[in-house]
Structure formats: C-alpha cells, structure tokens
Amino acid sequence: MSKYQHIKESAYAANMQLPKLGLVLFTFGNVSAADRELGVFAIKPSGVPYEDLSPEKMVIVDFDGNTIEGDLRPSSDTKTHAVLYKHWEHINGIVHTHSTYATSWAQSQRCIPIFGTTHADHLTTDVPCAPPMHDSMIEGDYEYQTGFQIMDCFKEQGLDYREVEMVLVGNHAPFTWGKTAEKAVYNSAVLEAVAQMAYLTEQINNNAPRLKDSLIKKHFMRKHGPDSYYGQ
C-alpha cells in the first residue's frame, strides 16, 4: 500500500462531497489534502469525472508542484494549491470550485459584503476578491501566479489566511482552505450560501446596509469564541 494512502483517501472523500453539495458540475473543481510531515498533497486528477474517481486515482504532488506518485495528470490548478501550501503553513486542505453564485461575484470582480448574521457566523470581513491578473502574469505560469495573486490580495487587504479561509479570484472563481480538506469543503459550501444570499439581498434592496460591527463580533464569537464548540 502507498505511504500516501491516508491523504489519497482524505482527498477522495472530500472531492466526492463537491457534487453531493451541488458545488460542481461535470469535472469543474478539485480538492487536495496535504501531509506536512511528508511534504506532499494528494489532488484530484485533471478532467476525470467525479463518478470515475477512486482513492487510487488521486495524484501525489510536492509543494513545488512536482508529481511524486500517480499515473494520471494532476488537476490543472495544482500549482495554485502548491503555492498556497508552501507559503501558508497552517493549511492542510484546499478546494477550488466554480459554484454558481461565488463565481458570479468573482466574475463581477466584487467582494461579497457582510450583509447579515449568516455571513458573520463564519467570518468577520467581506469575502475578499483578488483583482484580475496583470497580462504579464498571465503570459507566465498562470496557475502558479494565481497562488501569488491570492497571497498578494491578502497582504494588501491586511487579512490573515487563518481567519479568512476563502477568496474570490477576479474573472475566475473561488478558492477555500482549512486545517483539513473537510473544513475546506465546508468553507466552500458556506461561501456559496453566503454568495447567494448577498446576491438576493442586493436584488431586493440595492441599498441594503452592512451588518453593524457589534453584531458581526457577537455572531462570530458565538460560534468561534472560547465557550463555543469550535473554540474549545
């Protein structure tokens, strides 16, 4: 048995959650799961439909994007995952989808405003949107540069990737991450729900106010404060 079997199983299980949660169509999207001690991650093979996946088909890649084990080509987004794992040492799972509402905000190049308590239960800021890539970066290694596009956005906006576990990539689609691949999938589902609610909020009232700071903090701390299930 491969010494990477545990992350192949974990990446497989997390990938299979995407169609179940309605976050992907056909072969859109991919999930990876990392083992920091081994310095590698397991990722979905490129272009393989979810119904044809198995743990054995996951591809093992190092944090420079080199394939270590696997017969299939890793996802075309592999280098973006590699850059984020290499530079953000507390994450062990990454998800990329083209879920409809989150992708629509990304294509519109807009951050998702924090309109309500559903959003504040999960994060205390707007969902950031990384500005579209400069032509000079597109001509280089596009997927590799996408990783830097995301990190630059966090640096410029003063965000901590351990607190804000999601981003919209302008003109492209969302990426989410977490301490585990399962948490990264959870974050993708939360993002899609928040993106849909924010879109509908603006349709109903295009002057809808942002949630008050006092309520943002209160709601976030209920779920993540020292007395919460997650905070303990």
Ligand X SMILES: O=C(CO)[C@@H](O)[C@@H](O)COP(=O)(O)O
Task: Please give the Cα distance from 179 to 51 (Å, whole number).
Answer: 26
Task: Locate 78 and state its tokens.
Answer: 């592999």
Which of 93, 83, 3 shows the shortest CA–CA distance to 43? 93
Task: Please give the Cα distance from 110 to 38 (Å, whole number).
Answer: 37
Task: Locate 121 and state its tokens.
Answer: 């239960």
Interface residue with ligand X among 27, 117, 157, 180 (CB under 6 A) is 27
Number of residues that bind ligand X (CB under 6 A): 12
Shortest distance, position 53 Cβ to ligand X, whole Å: 11
* Region 114-143 residues binding ligand X, contact defined as CB under 6 A: none
Active-site residue, from 52, 71, 227, 230: 230
Which part of the chain contacts ligand X (CB under 6 A), choosing from 24-32, 57-65, 158-166, 214-222?
A: 24-32
Interface residue with ligand X among 8, 79, 81, 96 (CB under 6 A) is 96
Interface residue with ligand X among 22, 39, 47, 131 (CB under 6 A) is 47
> Catalytic: 101?
no
Active-site residue, from 35, 62, 121, 141: 121
Q: What is the DSSP letter of 137?
A: H
> Catalytic: 230?
yes
Residue 76 lies near ligand X (rule: CB under 6 A): yes
C-alpha distances in Å from residue 79, one per residue of 43, 64, 186:
11, 7, 22
Residue 83 lies near ligand X (rule: CB under 6 A): no
For residue 156, give the H/E element and its range: helix 142-157
Task: Please give the Cα distance from 112 to 125 (Å, whole number).
Answer: 9
Q: What is the dihedral of CA 224, 169, 152, 85, to 10 degrees?
A: 70
Shortest distance, position 76 Cβ to ligand X, whole Å: 3
Shortest distance, position 131 Cβ to ligand X, whole Å: 17
Residue 30 lies near ligand X (rule: CB under 6 A): yes
Alpha-carbon dihedral sign for residues 71, 62, 74, 90? positive
Catalytic residues: 121, 230
Contact footprint for ligand X (CB under 6 A): 27-30, 44, 46-47, 75-77, 96, 173
